[in-house]
Structure 1
Amino acid sequence: MDSSVMEQVYFVALVGFWVSLALLVLCYALFPITLPFVSEIFKRRHKPQPSGQAFLPTVSILISAYNEEGVIERKIHNILSIDYPKDKLQVLIGDDGSADRTAEIVASYADRGITLVKAPKNAGKAAMLNRLHTHATGDILVFCDANTMFFPNAVRKLVGPFIDKKMGCVCGHLILSDRSGSVLGKGESSYWDLESEMKKFEGALDLLIGGNGALYAIRRELYTELPVKKSVMDDFYITTKILQKGYYSTFVGSAIGTEQTSKESSGEYRRKVRIGRANFNYLLSYLPLLNPFRPLRAYLFFCHKVVRWFSPHIFVLLALCNAILLPKGLFYQVFFGVTVFCVIVGVSRMVPHAYYFLMMNVAMLKGFFLSFTREKSGGWAREARGDDDA
């Protein structure tokens, strides 16, 4: 090949290498390290404070369930033990065509204030949440999963920040525990601890990027109907639409829920593929968050979500550019060797966190490609969890 052409190839590879490396360092090192300082500098200084009288708005708890007979009764007892005025609390549990005893169990608690909303057929979580929203009467909607167990004061803590009229969404603190002992389960638990820390600092800015479907609350009038033609991350879709409407979104670490990780590594991997696919399905609808006139919000969304979602693509580009640059010096040769070593460590499962990181990026990449294929709308793909049959 002509030397001038090769020099152009090297130049393009050089630019690709350093841009890719810079984005990954920003996402996985600089952003989380500097986030506490950013949150301290730019946090809201003047927030409405609660008066002497307790702020207790009407609340509707929405739970979408499918084949949850293993945990649904325990969840109902957990809801019934919540420390919140019963006359201000509506509990709606949607059964989305379960093939087990979920609906029967829920219906047996009708005399204790638990309302069953039954779908005629299995249509998926998004369709069920839309249905539950039409039945909700509370000023505040609290969303949670059937396997998420609340601390008694969780609802009180969640609704507190809504005393601020501009507060649109409040996310609680989900604590994941790994009873399964799977490699991905261990990695997921550790990852979620770090993610919760990042949510805490984004919450200090009242610019939390995405809630968690296991434990979050919104104003009822801010609910955006979920699309049902393709899979969607319902919690992320709903909460980001609230940010796009100009409302605040925050994190309350004292509103605590607990949950178990997936029972098997393969189940966790499939779940991550679905999450990746759902994120890319509606990526274009999230891009208004990159509005340069809202620079702080754009920075958080870009670093925390966009770069992370495209991390597998960036890793592949980095490796390809690195391979092209091998003749250009010792640095690129050493870097390539370290990269190969890290991949081997991850694949071998010697370090659970490395394996989790590797597999989650593979899952995200698979989800990206699946987002371009036809998808059967509706339905659920439930994975076994560590608390099943507990």
Structure 2
Amino acid sequence: MNTAFWLALGMVAFTYLGYPAAMALLARLRPRPLRTSAHLPSIDVLLVVHNGAQQLPAKLDNLLALDYPPDRLRINVVCDGCNDGTDAIARQYPSDRIRVLAFAERRGKSACIGSALPSLSADLVLFNDVRQRIDTGAAKALAAALSDPRVGAASGELMLEADNGYGRGVDAYWRYEKMIRRLESASGSLVGATGALYAARRDAIAPVPAGVVLDDMWIPLGIAAAGYRVVFVPQALAYDRATADAAAEERRKRRTLAGNYQLLHRWPQLAIPGAHPLALRLWGHKWLRLLAPWLLLLMLLASLWLALRGSAFYQSVLALQLLAYAAAVVGLRWPAAATRLLPVRLAGAFLSLNTSAMLALMDYLKNPHAHLWQTTRLEDVRR
């Protein structure tokens, strides 16, 4: 049990501390700066929407206002089984730069992307979601990164605004995640993109199969497999609000984490070093995080076993773990009270993430074919 405890602790420490440190060291010793230019290639914006009538007008206004030559940017709205008039709103919009592709039956986002891609003709495809607002300079920033011939995909940065303790815990996790993405990009490639905003070379995108949950990982990883870099562009900003609804955030996290299990199932080479150029990075950034909740459980059980056998050291270790979990429960149960207590907020976010990873495995095993997403309502975000 002593060996099990230290092995689990070492793996958890590497997951959350060691991997970012390794990326920081690699970025320092072997930096990979971009070679950008002011060239403005043509862009097809691809927006897949399911029942987005409430949000679509503001989104179209936002896309039409992007600081990019109008004759070089076209907006493609793909309606995925919408029954709220989304397609009518898009068709009636006063702009000849908007093209609508509507499917009567709901097919899922990846199926819609796969069906729409062959009809696109621009140099770049810009992927985004209906809910988030994009900064006016984002398209130019992504295009600049993709002017480097070694780059095949470029991810923007999602900026979250939070009003309460729970939302700030989510925001703290995003800041940590973005730090890792910056380091991965500076040293080579990301292992995925921000679904709210990323762009890719159209001719580098492999066919996208139906049923994929994480298209923002599947597409960039396919591009990386072809030998291109996937980079992070912090100047390309998308804005969203961290939901105040803990249940909605829990559903989102579980769906995303279940999508990681789906990736491993559909593309097992992603876990084999040498079989995919980013396999080692995927272990550090993604796969070990899926193991983390089970490693934490092993640590707790091992320290309990050893503490009950009279070890004063493991009694202290057990007490520290229980104290940390108690703080996490406080952060989750009373987020408003934890607003000013950073350690409590972080503990709550950490426990929530690992609980979601554990439950996501159950979700995936129960229904491995689930892939349809639910639109987050504005009232869930504003609440």
- Give the TM-score normalised by structure 1: 0.88
Check the 8 A contact 1:70/1:389 in 2, yes or no: no
Cα distance in 2 between the residues matched to 1:295 and 1:328: 47
> CA 1:110–1:389 in structure 2 vs 1: closer, same or farther (change >3 Å)?
farther
Cα distance in 1 between the residues matched to 2:48 and 2:328: 35
Superposed CA RMSD: 2.4
The Cα shift of 1:15 comes to 2.0
The Cα shift of 1:104 comes to 2.1
Residue 32 of structure 2 corresponds to residue 39 of structure 1: no
Check the 8 A contact 2:225/2:276 in 1, yes or no: no
Check the 8 A contact 2:153/2:220 in 1, yes or no: yes
Task: Give the one of 235, 241, 253 matched to 1:254.
Answer: 235
Aligned counterpart, 2:8:
20
Aligned counterpart, 2:65:
81
Aligned counterpart, 1:338:
320
The Cα shift of 1:32 comes to 2.4
The Cα shift of 1:97 comes to 1.6
SS at match of 2:365: coil
Aligned counterpart, 2:92:
108
Aligned counterpart, 2:334:
none
SS at match of 2:218: helix
Residue 267 of structure 2 corresponds to residue 283 of structure 1: no
Cα distance in 1 between the residues matched to 2:262 and 2:154: 25
SS at match of 1:55: coil
Note the alpha carbon deviations across 1:127-168, whole angstroms, 9 max, x for none: 122122132211111100111211111101101122222211
Aligned counterpart, 1:308:
289
Check the 8 A contact 1:149/1:258 in 2, yes or no: yes
Check the 8 A contact 2:41/2:124 in 1, yes or no: yes
Task: Give the one of 199, 203, 212 matched to 2:181.
Answer: 199
The Cα shift of 1:34 comes to 4.5
Check the 8 A contact 1:127/1:378 in 2, yes or no: no
Q: Which amino acid aligns with 1:235?
A: D
Task: Give the one of 140, 149, 152 matched to 2:124.
Answer: 140
Write the mapping of 1:344-363 to structure 2, written as runs, cut at 5 A: 344-349=326-331, 350=338, 351-363=344-356
Write the mapping of 1:1-390 to structure 2, written as runs, cut at 5 A: 13-44=1-32, 48-50=35-37, 54-109=38-93, 111-179=95-163, 181=164, 183-229=165-211, 231-293=212-274, 297-326=278-307, 327=309, 329-349=311-331, 350=338, 351-375=344-368, 377=370, 379-385=372-378
Cα distance in 2 between the residues matched to 1:56 and 1:385: 34
Gaps of 5+ in 1: 1-12
> CA 1:377–1:304 in structure 2 vs 1: closer, same or farther (change >3 Å)?
closer
> CA 1:366–1:21 in structure 2 vs 1: closer, same or farther (change >3 Å)?
same
> CA 1:209–1:81 in structure 2 vs 1: closer, same or farther (change >3 Å)?
same
> CA 1:378–1:17 in structure 2 vs 1: closer, same or farther (change >3 Å)?
closer
Check the 8 A contact 1:63/1:92 in 2, yes or no: yes
> CA 1:116–1:295 in structure 2 vs 1: closer, same or farther (change >3 Å)?
closer
SS at match of 1:259: strand
SS at match of 1:56: coil
Q: Which moved more, 1:232-241 or 1:285-294?
A: 285-294
> CA 1:127–1:289 in structure 2 vs 1: closer, same or farther (change >3 Å)?
closer
Q: Which amino acid aligns with 1:314?
A: L
> CA 1:156–1:27 in structure 2 vs 1: closer, same or farther (change >3 Å)?
same
Cα distance in 1 between the residues matched to 2:112 and 2:208: 10
Cα distance in 2 between the residues matched to 1:174 and 1:386: 20
Note the alpha carbon deviations across 1:147-191, whole angstroms, 9 max, x for none: 121111110110112222221110111111125x3x432211121
Note the alpha carbon deviations across 1:287-328, whole angstroms, 9 max, x for none: 534554599944422211111122112111222222222226
Cα distance in 1 between the residues matched to 2:139 and 2:228: 20
Check the 8 A contact 1:185/1:261 in 2, yes or no: yes
The Cα shift of 1:218 comes to 0.9
Cα distance in 2 between the residues matched to 1:342 and 1:389: 30
> CA 1:296–1:279 in structure 2 vs 1: closer, same or farther (change >3 Å)?
closer
Cα distance in 1 between the residues matched to 2:204 and 2:277: 22
Check the 8 A contact 1:139/1:220 in 2, yes or no: yes
Q: Which amino acid aligns with 1:369?
A: M
SS at match of 1:39: helix
Q: Which amino acid aligns with 1:90?
A: R
Check the 8 A contact 2:269/2:276 in 1, yes or no: no
Gaps of 5+ in 2: 332-337, 339-343
Paired positions, count: 371
Q: Which amino acid aligns with 2:85?
A: R
> CA 1:125–1:49 in structure 2 vs 1: closer, same or farther (change >3 Å)?
closer
